[in-house]
Amino acid sequence: MNMRNQWPVLPVVAGLASGLLTGCGTETAGTGGTGTSVVMGMSDDVLATDPASGYDPGSWLLFNNVFQSLLSFPKGATEPQPEAAEQCAFSDTQTTVYRCTLKDDLKFSNGDALTSEDVKFSFDRMLKINDPDGPAVMFPTLDKVETPDDKTVVFQLNTPDATFPSKIASGAGSIVDQEQYDASGLRKDDQAVGSGPYKLDKFDNDEAVFSVNESYKGTAEVQNDGVTLKFFHGDQDALKKALSANEVDIAYRGLTAGGIADVEKSGGDSGVEVVEGSSAEVQHLVFNMDDPVAGKLGVRKAMAYLIDRDALIKDVYQGTATPLYSIIPAGISGHNTAFFDTYGARPSKAKAAAALQDEGIDGKVKLTLWSTPSRYGPATDQELKTIAKQLNDSGLFDADVQSVAFDQYEKDIADGKYGVYVKGWIPDYPDADSFTAPFFGKGNVLSNNYSNDAITGTLIPRTAAESDRAATDDEFNRLQDIVAEEVPVLPVWQAKQYAVVRDNVYGLEYCLDASTVFRFWELSKG
């Protein structure tokens, strides 16, 4: 499966709602806003229009605006609130039965009624298709979905899972029209029928065009009359030029650190400005534990002692990221600094050499760092070359970098061909569970052959079952400490979030928060 990673997300963090969830926000019927539409440029691609397949940032951007979920994340919030549902709650103290009641008179954009059967169909379909590039991997605890009546949905879980409300509030919880989708196959026509604030009018290689869904009934208050999303397919220079030429109102995801710095230096004189937020996006080096070199703990520890994150961020990212010292990023409850505490912030050749000596390694360690050019940010290749140089400058390593197109990259990782490779991650929902269970639980998305019985058998199940999310901190701390001791991954950086916007466009700050939901409806143009 493809990890949801690529570029950025305002901090926050809170507990998950385990009791009754009541309505929030103002309901609206999708009436449009200012008589203007907004044009946004993005270097990411949208890899899917079918929610049973897409598990990438571009696709979830589309899903969050075209489809409804039972719950959603209001702007600036990290606790899910009702959206298509009137209310949802766990029906038991063990968090294994989750019941939702739908709002009255919900409709899809084509006029079809949305009932509990459509909700059941959407989840059953996603799990049956089980697309390797889709979100089915998020629901190992979902046993079955029941529909006692047209307005009631009951999720039966096979294991306590207090994070379930957040999972169904994400793009993975998108509700599709059972009359418009095949129960056992993906949609192939690049169209989409949902009940969200927008309709997808056009989708091709160049752009996606969205208009306001007049049938929408939910919490979003639409501030524009439509959004056009232009695709630049990783061409950051072309995206920057389109912004300068007034061809797009917003440049989102993919401007280089240098491009962002240029805009900031202009001080608004160019008619555009940078909107900044912190982010829960992270990037790691991943180690294949079965590799004859990277599989040696001493090699991994030596690298942890040698990498200079501060220099890397200064030289490569020009301050557009921050050093990351654990697998759970800052701003997410449960975060600690396990790698800082264990290996320090400054490189230590002496400690790295001792780690190698303890492993019985005397000569230079020959190593290839595997990269992919744009999937995890436009500077990824440069970043790994800088890391290789840091390792080589110690005199302890002979490291080089190989960059491979993403499709081949993913296949080679699955086949175990790489010893050390880069992976980025944007959370599915703003909880420490989203930074741990996918990496170390069942169906490990890193494909690095790592397992730890304490993590998989005790810590992940305990944290998932705890409805009071603040009460999970001690267990998440222990989990992070184990990872720092065994180094199956090496955290490198945590992103800041940037978008560049023309000075007559408003509302972008409401689109960039820890929920990772980009809310088209908050955008307006003066």
CA-based nearest residue to 18, from 85, 79, 103: 79
The region of weakest confidence among 4-13, 276-285, 463-472 is: 4-13
**CB atoms inside a 10 Å sphere around CB 128:** 13
Identify whether the C-beta of residue 462 lies closer than 8 Å to the C-beta of residue 475: yes
| Chain segment 482-496, per-residue pLDDT in tens | 999 999 999 999 988
The rounded percent of the chain whose pLDDT value lies above 70 is 92
Tokens of 147: 């529909």
Identify the burial level of 112 via C-beta atoms within 10 angstroms of its C-beta, where 0-12 means exposed, 13-18 middle and 19 or more buried. Answer: middle
- pLDDT number for residue 416: 96
Residue with tokens 């998108």: 174
Q: CA 258: distance to chain centroid?
A: 24
CA-based nearest residue to 215, from 120, 124, 103, 126: 103
| Chain segment 242-298, per-residue pLDDT in tens | 988 899 999 987 677 777 777 777 665 678 888 876 678 899 999 999 999 999 999
Q: What is the mean pLDDT of residues 385-396?
A: 98
What type of residue sits at position 65? Answer: N
Residue of 276 and 326 predicted with greater confidence: 326
Q: Is the confidence at residue 374, as pLDDT, over 50?
A: yes
Q: What is the mean pLDDT of residues 309-322?
A: 92
- pLDDT number for residue 263: 74
- pLDDT number for residue 27: 38
Residue of 310 and 517 predicted with greater confidence: 310
Q: Is the confidence at residue 452, as pLDDT, over 50?
A: yes
Q: Is the confidence at residue 317, as pLDDT, over 50?
A: yes
- The model's pTM: 0.82
What type of residue sits at position 220? Answer: A
- pLDDT number for residue 193: 97
Q: What is the mean pLDDT of residues 205-212?
A: 97
Q: Is the confidence at residue 84, as pLDDT, over 50?
A: yes
| Chain segment 9-54, per-residue pLDDT in tens | 322 222 222 222 222 233 344 444 555 899 999 988 899 999 999 8
The three-state secondary structure class of 310 is helix
The region of weakest confidence among 157-171, 252-266, 281-295, 503-517 is: 252-266
The three-state secondary structure class of 194 is coil
- Measured distance CA(347)–CA(325) in Å, rounded: 14
- pLDDT number for residue 282: 94
Tokens of 380: 């990824």
The region of weakest confidence among 251-265, 338-352, 454-468, 481-495 is: 251-265
Q: Report how far apart, in Å, the C-alpha atoms of 293 and of each of 279, 347, 361, 397 are.
A: 33, 21, 10, 12
- pLDDT number for residue 237: 84
Residue with tokens 């939702």: 100
Identify whether the C-beta of residue 300 lies closer than 8 Å to the C-beta of residue 489: no
Q: What is the mean pLDDT of residues 85-89?
A: 97
Tokens of 508: 């972008």
Q: Is the confidence at residue 136, as pLDDT, over 80?
A: yes
